């Protein structure tokens, strides 16, 4: 897919023209996808943006805009062809080419990810895990072998793995990341609360459950205040 690039006056003030997909859109697309897979299994051949909007409680134009990023086109009065839309979103999100990844820190969370059989369902395949604990090294978790961290560099370099998943204790997160970066890992999925220092050539995606708890507790507080008429 190739994109038309037109420089607007706005773009002149930017360091580079905008080609990046808005992050909110990227966050919503997987949600649409899951919903679409559901209705497809139920045999629904077509779906309109307003219908999706009603089900997922979004603004209808939001959906149309988001979907237009993927290149999907719909027909007036019919909507989109369900299976086509699924395929287009999957292609757009690179979910069909399973990217190989390694995981460092096979503890509670790491084991959950290793045992999660649907991780490949969204584009990632963990091919090896690394740890230092003698109780972990040498075992298999969810069909993935856990090796000692000292073997990371050799394996990652040889297999040209680009994605690293970080589920170590926060304390040693930076240390583990340095090893990954050294082995030429290009993207890090970080589950620790640590802010990672990496070169510009490496992408970090933080998944902070802390942030989600903060929002949950706050919204709960606001809800209570509203109910007591105190806001």
Ligand X SMILES: NC(=O)c1ccc[n+]([C@@H]2O[C@H](COP(=O)([O-])OP(=O)(O)OC[C@H]3O[C@@H](n4cnc5c(N)ncnc54)[C@H](O)[C@@H]3O)[C@@H](O)[C@H]2O)c1
Q: Does 121 bind ligand X (CB under 6 A)?
A: no
Nearer to a second copy, 45 or 203 (CB): 203
Indicate the SS3 state at residue 76.
Answer: coil
Closest of 171, 205, 198 to residue 183, by C-alpha: 198
C-alpha to C-alpha distance for 84 and 73, rounded to whole angstroms? 10
Residue 87 binding partner per list DNA, a second copy, ligand X, none, with a CB distance cut-off of 5 to 8 Å that depends on partner kind: none
Distance between CA atoms of residues 174 and 195, nearest Å:
8
By C-beta, is 86 or 128 nearer to DNA?
86
The structure tokens listed for 79 are 């909507």
Provide CB contacts within 8 A for 56, sequence distance 6+.
31, 32, 35
| Partner in contact with 172, chosen from a second copy, ligand X, DNA, none, beta carbon below 5 to 8 Å by kind | ligand X
Applying CB under 7 A, the span of 66-74, 168-176, 185-193, 210-218 interacting with DNA comes to 66-74
Task: Output the smallest distance, CB 218 to ligand X, in A.
Answer: 18
- Out of ligand X, DNA, a second copy, none, what residue 159 binds, judged by CB under 5 to 8 A for its kind, is none
**Which of 85, 196 has the CB closer to ligand X?**
196
Taking the CA atoms of 161, 167, 172 and 174 in sequence, report the sign of the dihedral they define. positive
Pairing of strands 144-148, 163-166: unpaired
- Name the residue among 181, 176, 208, 177 with its Cα closest to residue 192: 208
**Binding residues for ligand X, per CB under 6 A?**
104-110, 112-113, 116, 118, 130-133, 136, 149, 167-170, 172, 176, 191-193, 209
**Binding residues for DNA, per CB under 7 A?**
8-10, 13-14, 18, 22-25, 48-51, 58-62, 64-65, 67-68, 72-80
């Amino acid at each position: 897919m190739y994109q038309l690039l037109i420089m607007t006056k706005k773009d002149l003030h930017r360091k580079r023209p905008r080609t990046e997909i808005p992050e909110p859109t990227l966050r919503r697309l997987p949600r649409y996808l899951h919903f679409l897979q559901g209705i497809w299994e139920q045999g629904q051949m077509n779906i309109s943006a307003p219908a999706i909007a009603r089900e997922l409680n979004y603004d209808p134009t939001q959906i149309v805009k988001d979907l237009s990023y993927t290149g999907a086109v719909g027909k007036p009065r019919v909507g989109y062809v369900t299976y086509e839309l699924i395929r287009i979103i999957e292609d757009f999100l690179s979910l069909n080419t399973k990217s190989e990844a390694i995981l460092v820190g096979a503890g509670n969370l790491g084991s959950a990810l290793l045992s999660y059989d649907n991780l490949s369902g969204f584009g990632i395949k963990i091919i090896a895990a690394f740890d230092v604990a003698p109780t972990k090294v040498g075992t298999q978790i969810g069909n993935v072998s856990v090796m000692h961290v000292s073997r990371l560099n050799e394996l990652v370099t040889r297999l040209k793995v680009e994605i690293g998943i970080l589920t170590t204790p926060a304390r040693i997160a930076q240390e583990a990341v340095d090893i990954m970066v050294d082995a030429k890992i290009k993207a890090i999925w970080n589950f620790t609360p640590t802010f990672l220092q990496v070169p510009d050539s490496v992408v970090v995606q933080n998944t902070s459950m802390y942030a989600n708890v903060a929002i949950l507790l706050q919204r709960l507080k606001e809800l209570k205040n509203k109910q007591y008429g105190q806001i």
